[in-house]
Amino acid sequence: MGLNECIRNHSARVAVIGQGYVGLPLAVEFAKAGFFVTGIDLDDNKVSALNRGESYIPDVESQTVRRLLQDGRYQATSKMDVLAESDAIIICVPTPLRKTKDPDISFVYSSAAEVKARLREGQVIILESTTYPGTTKELLLPMFEERGLQVGKDFFLAFSPERIDPGNQQFQVRDIPKVVGGVTPECSRIAALLYGQVVTKVTEVSSPTVAELAKLYENTFRSVNIAMANEFAMMCRYLDVNVWEVIEAAATKPFGFMPFSPGPGIGGHCIPIDPIYLSWKLRLSGYEARFIALADEVNRSMPRYVVELLIDALNTRGKCLNGSRVLVLGVAYKRGVSDMRESPALDVINELQRKGADVRYADPFVPSLEHEGLTTPRVDATMETVRTADAVVVVTDHKEFDYPMVVQTADLVIDARNATRGLSAPDGRLIRL
C-alpha cells in the first residue's frame, strides 16, 4: 500500500518528535482522526505521565489522552527506534536562542540525525519547529540525501510552521490553517494531504523557505507592532495621557488599523525569538534588519520601565524600593498558561531583587519559581498578602485574580496589563502602564 493511500485511509503511522505545547496537541489531533500515533520525547517524566493518561498541557485534557491510550491510537516513548516503522515524521522540538542571541538548532539537528539513521523509502518528514529561512533545504535535505534516497521520489520533505496559541480555546489545531512548503511539488502535495486529514485548510507554497519566512513574518509583524504600542505608552506618560484610552479611541476606525496593546515585555517561544532568527540569517548576508533590532530593544526595555514606574510611585510615598515588599501577580508569559519561556516577569523580578526588594509572587499556574539561581517565594493572592505588600505589580493578567479586591486593598498597584480596567482607587494608588 502506497503512502498516499495510507494517509487517506488513516492507516499511516505518525511519529511526532517533541511532546510539548506544539507536539502533544498535534499528536492528539492525528490520533483523534484515527491514525496510529507515537509521541516521542526525551523527558522520561513526560513520557511516563502521558502513558498514565496525564496531560501537562492545558489545551489537552487528560481524559482525551486516556481515551486514545485505551483505543490504541496513541503511545508515548523516549525511544527513537519507532521512527523506522513510521510513515510520517513531524519534528516539533524547541529552537531557543543562545546567550549570544544566535539560533540554537541543536534539538532540530539531533532529531534530524535520528530520522536520518532510520530513513527509508515511502516516508514523509515535516519540520514544524520555527527556524531561520533555509534550514529545511540547507541542513535537513543534505543530511537525508546522504542515505542515497531521492527527495520527492523515495522520501518527502517539507516545512510547515506551527501556529499553536497556548490557552486559546477559540483556535486550536483543527481550526488553524496550515502553510506547507515542500522541497519538491510532490513533497508539498504529500505533506498537504497529511495535514488535510486533521485541519480545515492547508495552503501550499512554492518552497520550504517561503513557509519558513511566512512564520517569521507573522511574529516579526507582532513584535514590531507591540514595540510601537510599548513606545507609545511611554510617550503618553510624558504627555500625561492614558494610553489605553488612546488605543480604544483609535480602534473605533473600521479599516486601516489593528490595535496592539503595550505590556511589561514580550514572552513565549515565538515573538521574542523568531525575529532574531530572521535578523541573524540576514546578517550572514550582510543585511542589517534595523526594524527588528529596534523593536527588540524597545520590547526588552519594558521590564525595566515597569520597575521604574514602581520606584517613582514608591518615592512619592516616601518609600524606597530597597527593603520594600513587592507582590508580583502572574509570572507566566501570558494569561491562562504555565509557560515561563522568555516571560517578562522573570526580568521584572530579577530587577526588583537586584535593587533590594523583598519579592513574592502569585500565579495559579506556576507552583514554584527558580531563575538564575534565585528562588522566589510563592504566595496566594489573598487579601492578607495583598494588604501586607508595599506594592502589587500586575505582570500577567490571569483571570483567576480578584482585581477589585487587589485595587481596594493594596497600598499601591502597578498594572502593566490593563487588568484593572474600569476600576479606580483613591489617592493615585492605581497606576497603569
Domains of the chain, first to last: 3-206 (3.40.50.720), 222-432 (3.40.50.720)
Q: What is the pLDDT of residue 98?
A: 87
| 3-state SS string for the chain | CCHHHHHHCCCCEEEEECCCCCHHHHHHHHHHCCCEEEEECCCHHHHHHHHCCCCCCCCCCHHHHHHHHHCCCEEEECCHHHHHHCCEEEECCCCCECCCCCECCHHHHHHHHHHHHHCCCCEEEEECCCCCCCHHHHHHHHHHHCCCCCECCCEEEEECCCCCCCCCCCCCHHHCCEEEEECCHHHHHHHHHHHCCCCCCEEEECCHHHHHHHHHHHHHHHHHHHHHHHHHHHHHHHCCCCHHHHHHHHCCCCCCCCCCCCCCCCCCCCCCCHHHHHHHHHHHCCCCCHHHHHHHHHHHHHHHHHHHHHHHHHHHCCCCCCCCEEEEECCCCCCCCCCCCCCHHHHHHHHHHHCCCEEEEECCCCCCCEECCEECCECCCCHHHHHCCCEEEECCCCCCCCHHHHHHHCCCEEECCCCCCCCCCHHHCEEEC
Residue in 92, 187, 236, 270 annotated catalytic: 270
Decide if 270 is catalytic. yes
Residue 1: per-residue pLDDT: 67
The pLDDT of residue 174: 87
- Nearest CA among 113, 112, 127, 108 for reference residue 187: 127
Beta-ladder partners of 76: 39
Q: Yes or no: say if 223 and 292 are a contact pair by the CB < 8 Å rule.
A: yes
pLDDT for the residue 428: 79
| Radius of gyration, alpha carbons of the chain | 24
Q: What is the pLDDT of residue 374?
A: 81
CA distance 386 to 101: 38
pLDDT tens per residue, the chain (433 residues)?
689 999 999 999 999 999 999 999 999 999 999 999 999 999 999 999 999 999 998 889 999 999 999 999 999 999 999 999 999 999 999 999 888 888 999 999 999 999 999 999 999 999 999 999 999 999 999 999 999 999 999 999 999 999 987 777 778 888 999 999 999 999 999 999 999 999 999 999 999 999 999 999 999 999 999 999 999 999 999 999 999 999 999 999 999 999 999 999 999 888 889 999 999 999 998 999 999 999 999 999 999 999 999 999 999 999 999 999 999 999 999 999 998 989 999 999 999 999 999 999 999 999 999 888 788 999 999 999 999 999 999 999 999 999 999 999 999 999 999 999 999 887 879 999 9
